[in-house]
Structure formats: C-alpha cells, structure tokens
Amino acid sequence: MKVSLEQLKTYVEINVPVNELCDRMVMAGFEVEEIINTAETMENVVVGKILEITPHENSDHLVICQLDIGENEPVQIVTGADNVFVGAYVPAALHNSKLPNGMNIKSGKLRGVVSNGMLCSGEELKLTEDDYEGASVYGILILKGEPKPGTDMRDILGLNDWIIDFKITANRPDCQSVLGIAREIGVVLGTEFKPPVPTYKTVGDDINNYMQLEVKNYDICPRYVGRFVKNIKIAPSPDWMKRALKASGMRPINNIVDITNFVMLETGQPLHAFDYRDIKGGKIIVRNAAEGEKITTLDEKVHTLNSDMLVIADAENPSCLAGIMGGLNSEIKDDTKDLFLESAKFRRDSVRRTARALGVRTESSARYERGTDIMNTEYASNRALQLIYELGAGEIVDGVLDANNGLPAERELAVSVNKINALLGLTIDGKVMVDILNSLHIPTVLSGDTLTCRIPSFRDDIEYMADIAEEVMRIYGYDHIVGTPISGAVLRGTVTPERALDDKVKKLLTSNGMYEITTYSFIGSHAIDPLNIPADDARQASIKILNPLGDEYSVMRTQLVSSMLTVVGLNMNRKNSSARLFEISKRFMPKALPMTEQPSELKTLSMGLYGDGEDFYTLKGLVEQVIELCGAKVTYERSDEPYLHPGRAAKAVMGDKTVAVFGEVHPNTAEKYDLSNKTYVAEVYLDMLASSETPLVIYSPLPKFPAVSRDLALLCESTVPVGDLLDIITKAGGKLLENVSIFDIYEGAQIPEGKKSVAFNLTLRSAEATLTDEQIETVMNKVIKKLSDFGAELRR
C-alpha cells in the first residue's frame, strides 16, 4: 500500500522524520518495502519568465532567451523550441540541475553562445497531461497562470512529498487504507488521529423517487448502501486529489471516478458509481448470476458467469461483477447526468473465487478479498458525498437505500492479564495493557485480572487471548522479550532410523571422495526421454504439476539418473576432469493416476562417476559398501536397464527385490547428455534397505595357528563369470578356507583364443592346530577337482 506522507499528515500529526516514522512502524508490524522521495527526482529547476528573445547568429533554429528567475540579473538560456514567447512562464533547469529523466544540466556554449541551463519540455520533466495540463505539447512546457519567477518547480508540481510503500499483512485488511495506516501512526507516535467527518448538504428530493434496491443473497452481500446524486458536472479532479491517486498508483480519470477511487484508497471501502440512465427499470438487484450469463466489464472484456458468482444487476442484465469490476454499459461517461453510488460489503471468499475464476484482479477485488468492514460502508459513502458536495460535482438527493439483514453486534472479549503474561513470559501491568489497547481504538476496561475489550468492527482479526497479547506486545515493544531456556522435562533429541541411515551412507560416501549434490525434485516433461525407458515402465507414469513454472519444471521425478547425468554433463562441460558425485533424494511414485492419495516418496541414492581410474568396478565397490553398510544380503545379476551399457550393467537383488541398479552409461544416453567421458551411474533404493538392520558385530577370537597361502592359476572359457569360480572355491574350501582373492585376470598372448587365465590366492587356516601338508593337500585337491568339473583347469 503506497501512501503519500503529505496525505497522511492531513489525518494524523507526524512529528518525526520520515525514516524514524518508518522504523517505528516496522517495529509495530508494518514492514516498509520502499520509501520514495518524489523531490529527489528533480533539482534546481525553477520557474523562469521570458523577458526577451533574440535570434542566434550561428543558427537559424536556435534562439537566445533572457529569463527572470527571481534574481537581480536575468539568466541567458539558448533553446531550440519554437513555442516560446516573451512573457511566457517556463521551467528552467539552471546550471548544475538534475532532471527526472536522469539528465544533469550544466552551463555551456551552444554554437558559440553561452547558455546557463536548459528550458524544459513536459516530457523532459517526465510529466503527462494527468500531471500538468499542456505537458504533452511538443516544445517547452508553458506554465499556467503567473507563478513567481524563481519558484522551485517541485512546488509547482507538488513534488515535495514522500511516498511510503507499507507491506500490509493479511490479518490487517483495515490498513489497506490511508486512514487505517494513519490510525496506526497515531498509536505508534502517540499523536491524535483525526479522520475526516463527512458533512454535506442535500438538495431534498428522495432517492426512492429514482431507485429501488433488492438484495437476494444476504449471505454473500450482508450490506448494500445506495445513494443518489443528480445533475452531475463531470470535470477533471483538483490537483491534490490527482496527486494522492498517483501516489497510490492509480490514474486520474474525472472527478466522479476519482472521488470513488480516492475514497476507496482513503477508507479501504470500494465504491462504485453507476450512470443512472443505464440502470434499466431504476432497479438494482444483488443476485447470483444465471449459469452462462454474460457481462462486458469496463475493460471491454466479455466474461461468462456461473451461478456461484454474485452480480449487481438492473431489472434486466448484470451491470457489475460484485466487488470486482463495473460493467461497460453503466460506467460514468462525460455526459452522465445522474448517478447511483454503491457502497457494499461482499464476502471475501466469494469475491476471491470469482476474481480467480475470471482472472480479474482490481484494487477493489484486492480489498474485498482481504475483508472489508461492514460498518465502514456508510462512512465511505458519506465521505464520497462530502467530496462531491465540496467539489460541486453534483446535487445530493435525500435518502439512503441500506439493505442489510441486521448488522452484527459489537463483540466483547474478556481475557486474563496473567494468561497474556504467561504466554509472553513477561509481567506487564494490566493498566499498561489497558492504555495500549485503548490507544489502538480497542476500548478496554480492567477489573481484577480481567481485561474486557470491545472489539471494533474493523478488527475482525481479534478473536483470542493470543490476538490481544500480540496487540499489547507490538506496541509495548518486542525488545522486552528476553531469551530464556525452555523449562520442563529434560528430553533427549533423536533422529529417525531412516535419517540415521542417510547419515551413515553419506559419511561412507564422502570418505570415499564423493561430493554431495542437490537438484530439483521436478524435471522437464521430456527429461526422462534420453534414458530410453519403455512407455509401460512405472517410471514413465509421473505426477504432473498442474501449474508449473514452465515445462522445464513440470513433472515430479520418478528417477534420479536424469538429474545426475545433467550435473555430470555440466561438470564435464566446465572442464572438471573427474568427479565422484552423489545425491540422496526422493522419487515420487503415484499409487494411481490421476492421484487419489499421496504418492510413495522413495528415498533413493544416486551416484555418478567419471574420470581417470573410474570404471564399472569402482562404482560396484561403492554400491557394495553401501549395501553392506545397510546390512543387506544381495546377489548381483545382469541388468537390462535401458540407459546402461548392456554388457556393463548390473543390479543388486535382495530376495525378489532389486535394491540397486548400476553400470556404465549407454552410449546413446551419454550422447544426449553430451557426456564426453565414460560415465558410471547408480541408483540405490535406500527405502528398501532402510528396513534391514545393521547387525551388531560379535567378536571372534584371533587365530592362534599360522595360515598357509596357496596360489591357483586357472584356465577357463572367457565367458565364465569369475564370481562363479569364487563361489566354487569358497564352497569346496570349506571350513579351512579363511579367504580367497583374485590377483590376476588375463586374456591374450600365451592364452588360447576364447580362454582366459584367472589367478586366485587362497588362505587356509585351522582354529585348532597348525595345518599339516596332508590337510592342505586334501583341501586343494577338492577345490581343483570341483573347478575342473566346472571346466576350469589348472594352468600348467
């Protein structure tokens, strides 16, 4: 809400500088978004009276003016405009002046002749016809009347003001008005608040001779106040009113429209003026629209309505979208003779729904949506009549049409001083609270521990003790709140097992040189395409955002790989030669589409590796470590994940569940992400692993007897999985086999085509005694035999 300081000063005494005013308002709950000094835009521009005009000897389009600027000597200024004349009053930007368009003017020579400044056009002063009559004329701005030469142009233009933009919180609709803010300033500064008291003279006659009013829906329109003004004289508004409108961001139109807007800004109560000629049958009916009924609004847009929407209709058609915008047919025109003035209360949720549904938002609807004061309708109406009267804009007819279904009674709220203090943790005296509440125009009396507050109609937001506590506190001052530790039982903070697991996994991964990334949970509708996931895969059924910021952020991701590969691509592109990245985030899997219940949010780990030394096995090692950390028992199988290299893709399977998928990125997918290096990517489904408890370690005694080490070099078909050989050795080795590891896998020279050599190291040990040669021989022979049965022969 932008308000002019000058206007505020007409309602309340402001005895502090503008910055202090703003600081104190902030501490009372009114954040200041911006302070604009209108005077700052223009400096050292004064009224000059042209005394003499002489031709310029070196130019046929320049002339030399001598101007009276209120000093002893005239100043000489050269101009190229041809509308100047002797005796004209013009704005003169003197040496070292500043113009609103950012220009700085200095003395200089124009084609050899000294010019001590510049004469200004309306455009150079950033003025329009609304600001100053004649401002749009091509040439120098010729001022009206005979202003005193030397007068600061800011005084002529009313630019010695401050405009303060207050952010009004949703609970204070009463402060969506200049008067509301002035009332708060009075409380904060402790000065008197003087709202205008509307007085005017009527010309007799009777509104009932012209108009009938019927409200069909008191639920949505609890009060409708109508007045009648005849013999309207449409004219421009006075400058002070135009300035106030512009300060608040509205455009002046004519006296009647401006008065309705001015009073809305001033009181917070929207008003609407109808051209009487266009009210068919002289009747206003407040009713719900018929389904499919149409209205053309002031902005010449046609809206099709439904039966939830409230309209102000005449005997035949809707004339106005209640509380939102007037109809084109009944607007005030240059030749309007008589008008009907509406001041009504509409329910905020109804206005909000209609405004949203039709995509219309106005100053009026904004105020209704936040809530207006039912008792303010009459005041605002009278205030508008006062201005019509004072400006001589029309003749006010006697009588009021006031349709309401009974006005709400004043509310009383009784609260305990002790309870307020208990909530705040302070010991504020009850009498201090009474003074604060009374200053806030909440008449309050104290009896014992009880404050009895009469809640004014404009403070619908006050319902509970906590609301009174806040009112007291924001005026008493939050500086009085002093930090204390929470009292009560000593509690021990815990984290969920899921979060504890995340933390363990993150520790493991970072200690393996991995960096955590953070990416958005929504992705583009086609972001999944490069992964070549089949159309019938569950991951293609993603939840769409109904109102996304753009296609780029439009669906909830069902996998983390696309985000990971995007980040990998970015890092390759930025010439980061290698990277180990991970993210723990959620995949959003709907239970049905369209959604009938909240989706599954599945905690998932993604990893991405590239650069020297990275290969399938470095990734597999990380996957194995994570799974082991979770205490899960898995087997590894080939995976047909479409975005992975078919020969270098694996999955970890636990029971019938896949708990991880990983491998080298398929060249087709890599190309789409512009991945210049081989990239290895994994998804580990932590939501499935979280349930497997990490087993407690049970100590086993350290060996007392020496171990024996034996190497085995085998020759087998190159397609044989080494994992199978390991399994055979482990099984055949039995109890005495302590460990088996691979130390070489080789294909090539000296090895027959289609074969490979695999070398293992076996460690044998007994817990009971030193192994004898015989025992060792037995074990080794058994292992070799089993391997041979499998087709893996000892290399000799």
Footprint (CB under 8 A) of other proteins, residues 170-229: 170-173
C-alpha angle with apex 713: 708 to 716, nearest 5 degrees?
A: 140
- Provide the terminal-to-terminal Cα distance of the chain, rounded to the nearest Å: 92
Rounded to a whole number of angstroms, the minimum distance from the CB of residue 75 to other proteins is: 39
Range in contact with other proteins (rule: CB under 8 A) among 236-244, 263-271, 581-589, 696-704: 581-589
Map tokens 């080789």 to a residue: 746
Among 302, 409, 535, 546, binds other proteins (CB under 8 A): 546
Range in contact with other proteins (rule: CB under 8 A) among 52-60, 135-143, 478-486, 671-679: 478-486
Among 518, 700, 719, 750, binds other proteins (CB under 8 A): 518
Task: List Cβ neighbours of 314 (8 Å cut-off, separation of 6 or more).
Answer: 278, 279, 280, 281, 283, 284, 285, 330
Is 538 a binder of other proteins (CB under 8 A)?
no
Rounded to a whole number of angstroms, the minimum distance from the CB of residue 18 to other proteins is: 16
Sequential DSSP letters for 199-266: ---B----GGGT-EEEES-TTT-SEEEEEEEES----PPPHHHHHHHHHTT-----HHHHHHHHHHHH
Burial profile 303-340: b = 16 or more Cβ within 10 angstroms, e = fewer: bebeeebbbbbbeebbbbbbbbbbbbbbbbeeebebbb
Residue 366 contacts residue 176 (beta carbons within 8 Å):
yes
Is 109 a binder of other proteins (CB under 8 A)?
no
Nearer to other proteins, 114 or 422 (CB): 422
Among 427, 447, 598, 719, binds other proteins (CB under 8 A): 598
Q: How far is CA 19 from the centre of its chain?
A: 27
Within 484-513, which residues bind other proteins (CB under 8 A)? Answer: 484-496, 498-499, 503, 506, 509-513
Site track for other proteins across 417-456, x = CB under 8 A:
-----xxxxx------------------------------
Rounded to a whole number of angstroms, the minimum distance from the CB of residue 597 to other proteins is: 9
Rounded to a whole number of angstroms, the minimum distance from the CB of residue 694 to other proteins is: 19
Rounded to a whole number of angstroms, the minimum distance from the CB of residue 518 to other proteins is: 5
Which ranges in 268-360 belong to alpha helices (H)?
A: 348-358
3-class secondary structure for 173-189?
A: HHHCCHHHHHHHHHHHH
Alpha carbons 107 and 630: distance in angstroms, whole number: 81
Rounded to a whole number of angstroms, the minimum distance from the CB of residue 548 to other proteins is: 7
Alpha carbons 396 and 388: distance in angstroms, whole number: 8
Among 89, 458, 522, 685, binds other proteins (CB under 8 A): 522
For 36-39, which contacts have Cβ atoms below 8 Å and span 24 or more sequence positions?
Answer: 36/162, 36/163, 36/164, 36/165, 37/162, 38/154, 38/159, 38/160, 38/161, 38/162, 38/163, 39/154, 39/159, 39/160, 39/161
Within 670-729, which residues bind other proteins (CB under 8 A)? Answer: none
Task: List Cβ neighbours of 178 (8 Å cut-off, separation of 6 or more).
Answer: 3, 7, 8, 11, 244, 248, 265, 266
3-class secondary structure for 644-678?
A: EEEEEEEEEEECCEEEEEEEEECHHHHHHCCCCCC
**Closest C-alpha to 83, from 132, 43, 3, 137:** 137
Nearer to other proteins, 143 or 622 (CB): 622
Eight-state DSSP code of residue 529: G
Among 409, 549, 702, 749, binds other proteins (CB under 8 A): 549
| 342 half-sphere exposure, CB direction, 13 A CA radius | 35
Q: Which two tokens stand for residue 33?
A: 């978004």
The amino acid at residue 613 is G
The amino acid at residue 394 is G
Among 55, 219, 301, 520, binds other proteins (CB under 8 A): 520
Nearer to other proteins, 86 or 500 (CB): 500
Compute how many other C-beta atoms are within 10 angstroms of the C-beta atom of residue 612. Answer: 7
Range in contact with other proteins (rule: CB under 8 A) among 61-69, 166-174, 636-644, 694-702: 166-174
Is 548 a binder of other proteins (CB under 8 A)?
yes
Nearer to other proteins, 558 or 757 (CB): 558
**Closest C-alpha to 739, from 721, 724, 761:** 761
Is 277 a binder of other proteins (CB under 8 A)?
no
Alpha carbons 737 and 717: distance in angstroms, whole number: 25
Rounded to a whole number of angstroms, the minimum distance from the CB of residue 569 to other proteins is: 11
Among 15, 160, 169, 405, binds other proteins (CB under 8 A): 169
Within 757-796, which residues bind other proteins (CB under 8 A)? Answer: none
Nearer to other proteins, 570 or 745 (CB): 570
Is 599 a binder of other proteins (CB under 8 A)?
yes
Is 567 a binder of other proteins (CB under 8 A)?
yes
Is 26 a binder of other proteins (CB under 8 A)?
yes
Rounded to a whole number of angstroms, the minimum distance from the CB of residue 730 to other proteins is: 30
Is 613 a binder of other proteins (CB under 8 A)?
no
C-alpha angle with apex 18: 14 to 23, nearest 5 degrees?
A: 100
Is 20 a binder of other proteins (CB under 8 A)?
no
Among 482, 697, 698, 769, binds other proteins (CB under 8 A): 482
Nearer to other proteins, 27 or 53 (CB): 27
Is 464 a binder of other proteins (CB under 8 A)?
yes
φ/ψ (deg, to 5) at 793: -100, 150
Count of residues of this chain found to bind other proteins when the rule CB under 8 A is applied: 91
Rounded to a whole number of angstroms, the minimum distance from the CB of residue 377 to other proteins is: 19
Nearer to other proteins, 557 or 620 (CB): 557
Is 574 a binder of other proteins (CB under 8 A)?
yes
Among 183, 223, 345, 474, binds other proteins (CB under 8 A): 474
Q: How far is CA 524 from the centre of its chain?
A: 21
Rounded to a whole number of angstroms, the minimum distance from the CB of residue 26 to other proteins is: 6
Among 296, 519, 525, 730, binds other proteins (CB under 8 A): 519
Within 358-387, which residues bind other proteins (CB under 8 A)? Answer: 369-371
| 763 half-sphere exposure, CB direction, 13 A CA radius | 11
Alpha carbons 680 and 615: distance in angstroms, whole number: 7
Nearer to other proteins, 432 or 495 (CB): 495
Rounded to a whole number of angstroms, the minimum distance from the CB of residue 371 to other proteins is: 7
Q: Which two tokens stand for residue 230?
A: 């005849």
Nearer to other proteins, 390 or 552 (CB): 552
Rounded to a whole number of angstroms, the minimum distance from the CB of residue 422 to other proteins is: 7
Site track for other proteins across 326-365, x = CB under 8 A:
----------------------xxx-xx------------
Residue 177 contacts residue 268 (beta carbons within 8 Å):
yes
DSSP helix/strand/coil, 94: strand
Range in contact with other proteins (rule: CB under 8 A) among 94-102, 304-312, 546-554, 639-647: 546-554
